Structure 1
Amino acid sequence: MILLAGATGDLGGRIVKALLAKGADVRAVVRTSSDPDKVKALEQLGVTVFRVDMNNLAEVTTACKGVSCVVSVLAGFRDTIIGTQNVLLDAAVAAGVPRFIPSDYSLDFTRFSDGENRNLDLRRDFHTYLAKAPIKATTIFNGAFAELITGAMPLILFKPKLVLYWGDADHRMGFTTMDNTAEFTANAALDSTTPRYLYIAGDQISPRQIKDVVSNLTGDKYRLFRAGSPIVLSGLIKVAQTVAPGEGELYPAWQGMQYMRNMIDKRARLDGLDNDRYPSIRWTTIKDVLTAHQKNL
């Protein structure tokens, strides 16, 4: 029996389907204010849904009883990543749940310092609380979601045929699709032997390699464009925070720039990947992602 918090979200929904495909019994805790259509869709899949006040420890604890692992896929600001997730963790402990997977799904933020990335700072703060809890925890680090490379992450500029980069054109970055992340998470939730940290990447690829891949796929000659150094990027982040603060936005432009700055940092390297832990997973590369993107144009 696996319980999810955040099952109505994109990644959460994918984890639900991956768990069900493996024959797991799945529960979901959702807010009383959650979209009724999304809740109904979960129930139609066979998920047992508990509509609760996510800040009510007793209600969440009831939902956690008899569960073997709680998987958090919560997204939000401090009141969610710290406040609500703290309640979820306390409920898991109170119900005697043996394992907990926090809502991380990112690059390894334990290697970075406070102030470098707002959203990762919140997750690191939660880990301080998690470390004191009497429960076995497993964090999954997946780099960046590979789907972003054809959309929100401005690395490939298709019209001018450029691959934009900061710093070193040969620095390899880790990318994992949401489906791969979901399938790996489902496996980890059902695996009682997981360590504290697991590292995955569907692909590790540099801007220069991306240029070659997209050029070969499209038949067009793409060029590298160096936007500047990491120091320049840091300066632009400060400007963006001033002129476009994006108050109330979870992913304003400067937040994405902060993540890019982390990705091009050597501290973000992915050594000793755990991709082979679950051999049934077929890992999707950046070439695969770009090939699918070309077919859909």
Structure 2
Amino acid sequence: MAGATGDLGLRIARHLVQRGAAVRALVRGGNTGPAMAVLRELGATVVEIDFNSVTALTQACAGADCVVSALSGLREVIVDAQKRLLDAAVAAGVPRFIPSDYCIDYTKLPAGGNRNLDLRREFNQRLDQAPIAATSVLNGMFTDLLTGQAPVVLFGLKRVVYWGDANQPLDFTTIENTAEFTAAAALDPHTPRYLRVAGEVATIRDVQRAASAATGQPFRLLWAGSVGVLGALSKLTKAMMPKSDDVFPPWQGMQYLHDMFTGQSKLSPLDNARYPEIRWTSVQEVLATRPREEK
């Protein structure tokens, strides 16, 4: 597994171990972060490796049933590093590969409108040409982002911001549920090319009701304009900001929300029932985890 020291990756590793899998975590040499100790405590085999070496990656992948990627980054990671990992998996004879997608359904979106999704699309085009079975997990937006990082639920103002139609269905899945589902898929030899899940399909009106119920205080809707306005705002913000290596600059989040609010990236059909043992966490449950003093 690659990317096991990140938030999502560490959770995937934990769920794999809980399901009885032998986990081999590939990490960059010199990594001394706290996740290293956690992985070892889980019982995972930690392999420090040079991700620029296909030979080293091939040796590390030998004997694996599935390579799971939870890498996060821009082109040098999502396209280049994953391509080397893919080449290694093929060379080692690994039968299955799960790429680092974990997002809305980019297969339904036009190219050029979302940088991070375009990178995933580019890599998956290469993946589809490789002699290996592949499965992408698509989960919409991480529900966890609604507690602060996504500018949708404004706790201080008691408002839920939206663009376009307040009745547009949106897909939300917690990081934990995404990890649990991915682990189950990694151990399932019969997965299709795409698996689509949503912990909850909710409209903005549903999010408003969830925020009110979670905090015990009434939230109101705040319409910020059409989806076209949001799209233009994301382009303007991108043009005004200096270039950086930030994976999630403000304009990237705007692009993501734009693609959700248009409805084009809606996940369908959903595969939630594929692993019935998974209990899906609702939007209200996530919003209720926000510290009381901040609600």
TM-score bucket (shorter structure)? over 0.9
Matched with 1:166 is 163
Q: Secondary structure at the match of 1:35?
A: coil
* Equivalent of residue 280 in structure 1, options 277, 280, 289: 277
Change (3 A) 1:89 1:296: farther
Q: Which amino acid aligns with 2:54?
A: L
Q: Which amino acid aligns with 2:112?
A: G
In structure 2, C-alpha distance between the alignment counterparts of 1:77 and 1:208, rounded to whole Å = 34
Q: What is the Cα deviation at residue 191 of structure 1? A: 0.4
Q: What is the Cα deviation at residue 45 of structure 1? A: 2.0
In structure 2, C-alpha distance between the alignment counterparts of 1:74 and 1:217, rounded to whole Å = 33
Deviations 1:114-150 (A, max 9, x none): 2211000000000111011000000000001000011
* Equivalent of residue 109 in structure 2, options 85, 107, 112: 112
In structure 1, C-alpha distance between the alignment counterparts of 2:109 and 2:260, rounded to whole Å = 11
Task: Confirm whether residue 11 of structure 1 aligns to residue 5 of structure 2.
Answer: no
In structure 2, C-alpha distance between the alignment counterparts of 1:40 and 1:158, rounded to whole Å = 36
* Equivalent of residue 37 in structure 2, options 35, 40, 48: 40
Do the aligned residues in 2 keep the contact of 1:6 with 1:29 (CA within 8 Å)? Answer: yes
In structure 2, C-alpha distance between the alignment counterparts of 1:246 and 1:142, rounded to whole Å = 28
Do the aligned residues in 2 keep the contact of 1:145 with 1:177 (CA within 8 Å)? Answer: yes
Matched with 1:266 is 263
Matched with 2:177 is 180
* Equivalent of residue 95 in structure 2, options 80, 98, 103: 98
* Equivalent of residue 256 in structure 1, options 253, 256, 259: 253
Matched with 1:126 is 123
Do the aligned residues in 2 keep the contact of 1:146 with 1:176 (CA within 8 Å)? Answer: yes
* Equivalent of residue 200 in structure 1, options 194, 197, 201: 197
Do the aligned residues in 1 keep the contact of 2:169 with 2:263 (CA within 8 Å)? Answer: no
Change (3 A) 1:8 1:296: farther
Q: What is the Cα deviation at residue 294 of structure 1? A: 5.6
Runs of 4 or more off by more than 6 Å in structure 1? none
In structure 2, C-alpha distance between the alignment counterparts of 1:156 and 1:208, rounded to whole Å = 12
In structure 2, C-alpha distance between the alignment counterparts of 1:187 and 1:163, rounded to whole Å = 34
Q: What is the Cα deviation at residue 44 of structure 1? A: 2.6
Do the aligned residues in 2 keep the contact of 1:245 with 1:252 (CA within 8 Å)? Answer: no
Deviations 1:218-267 (A, max 9, x none): 33222111101111111111221122245111110000000000111221
Q: Secondary structure at the match of 1:267?
A: coil
In structure 2, C-alpha distance between the alignment counterparts of 1:14 and 1:295, rounded to whole Å = 26
Do the aligned residues in 1 keep the contact of 2:213 with 2:284 (CA within 8 Å)? Answer: no
Q: What is the Cα deviation at residue 272 of structure 1? A: 1.7
Do the aligned residues in 2 keep the contact of 1:246 with 1:252 (CA within 8 Å)? Answer: no
Change (3 A) 1:36 1:162: closer
Task: Confirm whether residue 58 of structure 1 aligns to residue 48 of structure 2.
Answer: no
Q: How many residues align?
A: 294
Task: Specify every segment of 5 or more residues in structure 2 that has no aligned partner in the other structure, as ranges.
Answer: none
In structure 2, C-alpha distance between the alignment counterparts of 1:296 and 1:95, rounded to whole Å = 52
Q: Secondary structure at the match of 2:112?
A: coil
Do the aligned residues in 2 keep the contact of 1:174 with 1:201 (CA within 8 Å)? Answer: yes
Q: Which amino acid aligns with 2:204?
A: P
Change (3 A) 1:246 1:148: farther
* Equivalent of residue 65 in structure 2, options 63, 68, 75: 68
Deviations 1:256-295 (A, max 9, x none): 0000001112211222211010011000010111222265
In structure 2, C-alpha distance between the alignment counterparts of 1:216 and 1:184, rounded to whole Å = 27
Matched with 2:187 is 190
Task: Specify every segment of 5 or more residues in structure 1 that has no aligned partner in the other structure, as ranges.
Answer: none
Q: Which amino acid aligns with 1:66?
A: G
Q: TM-score, normalised by structure 2?
A: 0.96
Matched with 1:290 is 287
Q: What is the Cα deviation at residue 216 of structure 1? A: 3.0
Change (3 A) 1:296 1:280: farther
Higher mean C-alpha deviation, range 35-44 or range 190-199: 35-44
* Equivalent of residue 149 in structure 1, options 137, 146, 149: 146
Do the aligned residues in 1 keep the contact of 2:8 with 2:175 (CA within 8 Å)? Answer: yes
In structure 2, C-alpha distance between the alignment counterparts of 1:188 and 1:274, rounded to whole Å = 11
Change (3 A) 1:53 1:254: same
